[in-house]
Amino acid sequence: MIPGVRLVLLGRQGAGKGTQCVRLARHFVVPHLSTGDMLRSAVSEGTDFGRKAKEYMDSGDLLPDDVMVGMVAERLGRDDSSRRGFILDGFPRTVGQAEALAEITVEKPLDAVIDLEVPEDVVIQRISKRRVCKDCGTNYSVDTPPRYDWTCDNCGGEVVQRDDDTEEAIRHRLDLYREHTEPLIAWYEHRLLLVAVDGLGHPDEVTRRLIRAVDGRTRPVVG
Ligand code: ADP
């Protein structure tokens, strides 16, 4: 039986979290919960909330903690994640969010928090080349495009550059990462949850490293 896992992935924008989380979610058979994807789907639904969220996202700003905590708490309360676990991608991003997550998961605490390490100069290169499927969120790069005319290999959706992947917004997001999210590394280290994984190299090699890092921290699914 494949064990479940309750995992958080930290890492700079462009570190490869999205790509690796999809693979880890498949490996451990748990849902991949990306707050960026959740927000982008609210934007594409055109709700009032989505319109407001888009303003923050396009300028690269963080949404308020209470909004994000409410959204994640609701998602973690659903059956799939409360039973087998989850992989959180993009949350927490502030110490306030991490404190709230510790309360939400008090009965079923996290197994590990992975810091996927990729230096800033490398991620700037990667993000400026990044292209993404509008419908399913699969990531591509101008170096590794989909097989046919910017049409997603996975779902046939249109593959585009994200509105917030402009040079200015990228630099702003990286500044916010340094200021608000990097302190979480020490925060989780202190709680003995942090595992650092090198995010450089072939994506398959990075996946192997991540699985190795998570194995041993997984637990059997009960009930
Ligand atoms: P990136 O990691 O490249 O910034 P994401 O897809 O994870 O991309 O997030 C896109 C945007 O969604 C962020 O720039 C921010 O505006 C918003 N967002 C996502 N997660 C959070 C969060 N935990 N707290 C606040 N804002 C968030």
Q: Tell me: the pLDDT tens digits for 75-115?
A: 999 988 888 999 999 999 999 999 999 999 999 999 999 99
List phi, psi (to 5°) of 61. -85, 160
Question: At a CB cut-off of 8 Å and minimum separation 6, what does 194 contact?
Answer: 112, 113, 114, 115, 185, 188
Residue 93 Cα to ligand 1 midpoint, Å, equals 8
The one catalytic residue among 17, 23, 40, 131: 17
In tens, the pLDDT along 109-161 reads: 999 999 999 999 999 989 999 999 988 888 899 999 999 999 999 999 999 99
Residue among 173, 174, 177, 182 to mutate when testing ligand 1 (max atoms within 8 A of CB)? 173
Residue among 55, 62, 95, 129 to mutate when testing ligand 1 (max atoms within 8 A of CB)? 62
pLDDT for residue 19 is more than 50: yes
Residue 117 Cα to ligand 1 midpoint, Å, equals 18
In tens, the pLDDT along 170-215 reads: 999 999 999 999 999 999 999 999 999 999 999 999 999 999 999 9
- Put simply, whether the predicted model's pTM sits higher than 0.85 gets the answer yes
The one catalytic residue among 12, 93, 126, 131: 93
- For residue 53, the ligand 1 atom closest to its alpha carbon is 16
pLDDT for residue 223 is more than 50: no
3-class SS at 155?
coil
- C-alpha pair distances (Å), 83 with each of 1, 5, 28, 79, 148: 14, 10, 13, 6, 39
What separation, in Å, do the N-terminal and C-terminal C-alpha atoms of the chain show? Answer: 13
28 lines ligand 1 (CB under 6 A): no
